Structure 1
Amino acid sequence: MRHASLFTAVSLGLFAGVTTSAALAETSPLEQQLKDLASFQVIAHRGASGHVPESSMAALELAHEWGADYLELDIQMTADGELVAFHDDTLERTSNGEGHINDHTLAELKDLDAEAWFNDTYPDQADEAFMGTEILTLEEVFSRFGQNARYYLETKSPQLNPGVEAALVKRLEAFDMIDTGRVLVQSFEQESLLKIHELNDDIPLIQLVWYSPSQEDSERLVEWRGTTPGAPDITDEHLQAVADYAVGLGSNYRYEGEQVIDETFIRQAQDNGLAVHIYTVNDTDHMQQLIDWGVNGLFTDYPDRLIELIE
């Protein structure tokens, strides 16, 4: 898979000193995006969601203003086929709506209050300016930031959003986000990522993983969807299987306060051509440890903290 091969070459420094005419040719925007994955990326988790309502235009604008490398959003589909940026499968936590988001039309979702929960939950950060916050469509996000941002988009709960992959690829192509190196697509569901590549194999993919203790044996770590074994048991062959379709891994760092990956895991993934992005890291001491371990990027609700740390 050419994305993974290019990332491997860049991460191993194989372009250094090359003087062929091909190497001297102008780098395309998509190739540049893949090269950039070898360096550190600040990924604004649902925007600057530690400061303002998550997945809101205010959160995205703040993260963009601070200079985050990627605006991260979860993408779901409405009952009438529109793509919206919303994390939870159900509406209750971050709006005054009820039920599954996929059971509502866009017009119904636009009528909801997606702000009051934040002001109620975080009274010290409450702001009247958040009043009128709406659930965003992906088109609204692209129309606002266009080619001036990069986007890190998850096909969220694809089993509840049938057809989300085709709809997402259609929007990415319509807004020219692929060849211009503007987007990464992530998912915990390997099948969803493979569907994306069947539709357009130029789209760089990130395989999300979640490591936690096995219910049968708490001393053994397992991956939520079985995409890989637990980090201590992972082999080069397992990582190469992911690198066949993805350019990176997005992994948790801790589970209930205990580490589930270490520096060896990060280096092994990188040696197999995968960038490693860790989610969701808000503590600066944890940020620094992961930076010292050589991760390629961090998801954070506080991109300002991370940017200050790496400057």
Structure 2
Amino acid sequence: MPLGEPAVRAFLLSLTAVVASLVALPAAPAVAAPTDCSSLEAIAHRGLHPARVDENSMTSFERAAAEGFSIETDLWADAQGQMWIFHDRNTLRSTGVDGYIDKMTTAQVAALRYKKAGSRIPTLEEAMAYWATIPETRVYIELKQQTTVERVAQQIRDAGRVDTTWFTTHAAYTHRVAPDIRLAARYITSPPPDPQVLTDQGVDIIIMGPTGITATEVDRYQAGGIEVQDRLANDTREWRNTIGAGANAQLTDFPQELVSFCPDALQPPTIEGFTPSGGPAGTPVTVTGDFFTDASRVTFGNVSATFVVDSRTQLTAVVPENVPARANITVRTPNGSVTSSTPFQAAPAVVDTFTPTTGSPGTPVVVTGAGFLDATAVAFGTASAPFVVDSDTQITATVPTDVPASSRITVTTPSTTVESNALFTATRPVGVDALSPSAGVPGTAVVITGTNLSETSAVAFGASSASYTVDSDTQITAIVPVDAPAVSKVSVTTPTGTVQSTDSFKVPPTIGSFTPTTGTNGSSVVITGTGFAEARFVRFGAVTATFTIDSPTQITATVPADAPASSKLGVTTPAGTTQSTDPFKMPPTIGSFTPTTGTNGSSVVITGTGFAEARFVRFGAVTATFTIDSPTQITATVPADAPASSKLGVTTPAGTAQSTDPFKVAPTITSFTPSSARAGSSVVITGTGFLQARIVRFGAVTATFTVDSPTQITATVPANAPARSKLGVVTPGGVTQSQAAFQLLP
């Protein structure tokens, strides 16, 4: 009875109930276990969906194909005509959402997710795109609606999968619309329809069961050109009967007993080995292993090969053209695929180049070529070398200690030994043992002793190249370059590489001269010498100065404000400190002073430079007491015997500075005695600033006088002195007058 009958459709929507009912069926007649199970087809019902994989999901299809199963799936169209890979009409069981898929919109179906693993429902287009990539995997599609036949047929054609088998309740209509696509019909009634009826409907495969099947029925359908499959569940009696009757067995569940009953039916192939291990295109290769009976493809790398299955445990493949130099062999059957653990050597090993072409023992040498993966030995001439296989085209070998002076490099594989066309030249290791002297200025000759120095091509102090002479195989004489670092390793370069001295060579600084030799605070001083490239400090005595390194032989320093009056210049580098032979002198300068006039004992502030080591301050030739306020300021006290008008002088170890303008000491009269006297009498005047007194007056009348000291004058009362008058003293520093009046006595 066709599947369109209501009772049959109810069965299809509840497959689990049917499977459960199988155990209650009468036992089929026992048949002998067959010796060949190659006809058994393993079909993953709704894809292969173990734990955490959803039925009819893209993942279930990928798992099925990877394990060598055929794929059975289901198809529904939604209310807008979009076709979906889904089993139940009602979506509640699989997604938890209660609804009918053929009544839903495309957006509603797209939003659904399977409950088990959260997969979305694939569209037919997505499934077809994947099935097109696995042409060796058989696909069965159950059409749930007649209205989808034409569109599904076209998509099958577009995907290039006209080998797809579909089954439907509308066999005759389906065959009429798409006669080019294989058609299967499922029947669960007994007896099944006549073969001619199926032929008229265009049916290619009849799927029987689960009611048992006999050899007579199988023969009857096969005679009519119809393939017979038995839909099986977990019923050992059923699948034994089916296989015994000669039908193909479609398995939806796989009882463990089947593995021991028909081991090659479900087991993937295995490869134990192959012979020969290498050869050119056209070479027959015997592959041994197991479960080769249904082999469908053999490849060398990714290149397909022609082959013949000799037995379950052996096949013979022919090496195809364009095979990689090394390629693993892969055998595929419906139950899976296997790849050899070792590659087939399609082309013999070959050595193309190696680098470097010279080297000393211990030098890594990169050998390039092909066919190196199975390399068992590398040698430099007769000297075996340790090596690492980097890839099929590269080996890194280490030059052995007993390497010949000149030799070819050989690479040995299980099938051949090949050698380089070019010769490798061995060199001896170079060493630098000692430097003498271990320090010196630029231009110094340094004797370098070591080993294997005869092929020296360069000598350097740090990064600074040096001129040199090769004295012998164990000695070089190098000249310290002008720009040599303060502290550096000395390197020697030969064809085998560059080696460095263990100890460092030091280039201490030297000061040859500086200019100018004198200067003021803030002025620039150019220092010439050697070894200045890494100068850290420049000092004037103990005072640090700012500076610029102009070159390894010149520094420009700025005289610091507190530089000593006379000091040696010092330059410090990582290699040491040097000091000038002669001192730099910073003579003082007087810029100004204030006030410009004053009395004995008053303070005068002098500003200028170079005062830090002031030894004397003078008013003219008269020494004054003073205090150094800073390198640029002195406070001096006007001495009692300071000239009335004199230039100020400041003396330091570097020299003496004198003010441009004079300081004037104004006289003062503090008292006189007696306060009255006759003409011709002596009057003693006391005060300050009298040293250069020029005139003494009684009122307007000039008197004769004697300067007793800077603070005292003795004057003679003139005959024509006024009866009452103030006394006056005139010096170059000014004029002063007494506060009290002198009384002339009759």
SS at match of 1:288: helix
SS at match of 1:277: strand
SS at match of 2:166: strand
Call closer, same or farther: CA 1:203–1:78 in 2, change over 3 Å. Answer: same
- In the alignment, the residues of structure 2 paired with residue 308 and residue 48 of structure 1 have an alpha-carbon distance, to the nearest angstrom, of 20
Which residue of structure 2 aligns with residue 109 of structure 1?
109
* TM-score with structure 1 setting the length: 0.64
- In the alignment, the residues of structure 2 paired with residue 147 and residue 277 of structure 1 have an alpha-carbon distance, to the nearest angstrom, of 26
Contact 2:150 2:178 in 1 (8 A): no
Q: Which amino acid in the other structure matches residue 97 of structure 2?
A: G
Matched, 1:66 2:67: yes
Instruction: State the 1:198 CA deviation.
Output: 2.4
Which residue of structure 1 aligns with residue 241 of structure 2?
289
Instruction: State the 1:301 CA deviation.
Output: 4.1
- In the alignment, the residues of structure 2 paired with residue 210 and residue 63 of structure 1 have an alpha-carbon distance, to the nearest angstrom, of 26
Q: Which amino acid in the other structure matches residue 185 of structure 1?
A: W
Matched, 1:151 2:103: no
- In the alignment, the residues of structure 1 paired with residue 48 and residue 237 of structure 2 have an alpha-carbon distance, to the nearest angstrom, of 19
- In the alignment, the residues of structure 1 paired with residue 121 and residue 138 of structure 2 have an alpha-carbon distance, to the nearest angstrom, of 20
Matched, 1:176 2:160: yes
Contact 2:128 2:156 in 1 (8 A): no
Instruction: State the 1:78 CA deviation.
Output: 1.1
Which residue of structure 2 aligns with residue 3 of structure 1?
none
2:210 pairs with 242, 253, 259, which one? 253
Percent of counterpart pairs with the same letter?
A: 25
Larger radius of gyration: 2
Contact 1:42 1:303 in 2 (8 A): no
Matched, 1:262 2:214: yes
Call closer, same or farther: CA 1:90–1:197 in 2, change over 3 Å. Answer: same
Q: Which amino acid in the other structure matches residue 246 of structure 1?
A: V
SS at match of 1:94: helix
Q: How does 1:81-120 map to 2 (within 5 A)?
A: 81-116=81-116
Call closer, same or farther: CA 1:115–1:205 in 2, change over 3 Å. Answer: same
Contact 1:48 1:59 in 2 (8 A): yes
Report the aligned-residue RMSD. 2.6
* TM-score with structure 2 setting the length: 0.28
1:275 pairs with 205, 208, 227, which one? 227
Instruction: State the 1:143 CA deviation.
Output: 1.8
Contact 1:276 1:295 in 2 (8 A): yes
Q: How does 1:13-162 map to 2 (within 5 A)?
A: 39-49=39-49, 52-68=53-69, 70-116=70-116, 130=117, 132-148=118-134, 149-156=137-144, 158=145
Call closer, same or farther: CA 1:280–1:113 in 2, change over 3 Å. Answer: farther
Matched, 1:185 2:186: no
Contact 2:83 2:124 in 1 (8 A): yes
Call closer, same or farther: CA 1:264–1:145 in 2, change over 3 Å. Answer: same
Q: Return the structure number with greater relative CO, CA threshold 8 A, min gap 6.
A: 1
Call closer, same or farther: CA 1:100–1:84 in 2, change over 3 Å. Answer: same
Residues 216-270 of structure 1: CA deviation (Å, up to 9, x unaligned): xxxxx4xxxxxxxx24xx5xxx21220231111012224xxxx4x3333223222
Instruction: State the 1:155 CA deviation.
Output: 1.1
- In the alignment, the residues of structure 1 paired with residue 155 and residue 131 of structure 2 have an alpha-carbon distance, to the nearest angstrom, of 14
| Structure 1 segments unaligned to the other structure (5+ residues) | 1-37, 117-129, 212-220, 222-229
Contact 2:84 2:122 in 1 (8 A): yes
Which residue of structure 2 aligns with residue 204 of structure 1?
182
Contact 1:84 1:137 in 2 (8 A): yes
Which residue of structure 2 aligns with residue 127 of structure 1?
none
Call closer, same or farther: CA 1:57–1:283 in 2, change over 3 Å. Answer: farther
Contact 1:72 1:151 in 2 (8 A): yes
Instruction: State the 1:193 CA deviation.
Output: 2.6
- In the alignment, the residues of structure 2 paired with residue 65 and residue 147 of structure 1 have an alpha-carbon distance, to the nearest angstrom, of 12
Call closer, same or farther: CA 1:143–1:279 in 2, change over 3 Å. Answer: same
Q: Which amino acid in the other structure matches residue 46 of structure 2?
A: R
Q: Which amino acid in the other structure matches residue 159 of structure 2?
A: F
Call closer, same or farther: CA 1:50–1:176 in 2, change over 3 Å. Answer: same
Contact 1:78 1:104 in 2 (8 A): yes
SS at match of 1:163: helix
Residues 161-195 of structure 1: CA deviation (Å, up to 9, x unaligned): x52111211211222221xx3x01112x1xx2323
SS at match of 1:62: helix
Higher helix share: 1
- In the alignment, the residues of structure 1 paired with residue 227 and residue 50 of structure 2 have an alpha-carbon distance, to the nearest angstrom, of 25
Instruction: State the 1:144 CA deviation.
Output: 2.3
- In the alignment, the residues of structure 2 paired with residue 107 and residue 141 of structure 1 have an alpha-carbon distance, to the nearest angstrom, of 18
| Structure 2 segments unaligned to the other structure (5+ residues) | 1-37, 268-746
Q: Which amino acid in the other structure matches residue 153 of structure 1?
A: I
Call closer, same or farther: CA 1:152–1:270 in 2, change over 3 Å. Answer: same
SS at match of 1:194: helix
SS at match of 1:134: coil
The size of the alignment, in residue pairs, is 222
1:166 pairs with 125, 150, 169, which one? 150
Call closer, same or farther: CA 1:246–1:268 in 2, change over 3 Å. Answer: same
Q: Which amino acid in the other structure matches residue 233 of structure 2?
A: V
Call closer, same or farther: CA 1:74–1:308 in 2, change over 3 Å. Answer: farther
Instruction: State the 1:283 CA deviation.
Output: 4.2
Residues 255-296 of structure 1: CA deviation (Å, up to 9, x unaligned): xxxx4x333322322222211122242445543332222222
Which residue of structure 2 aligns with residue 241 of structure 1?
197
Contact 1:44 1:302 in 2 (8 A): no
Q: Which amino acid in the other structure matches residue 56 of structure 1?
A: S
Call closer, same or farther: CA 1:62–1:303 in 2, change over 3 Å. Answer: farther
Which residue of structure 1 aligns with residue 545 of structure 2?
none
- In the alignment, the residues of structure 1 paired with residue 71 and residue 109 of structure 2 have an alpha-carbon distance, to the nearest angstrom, of 22
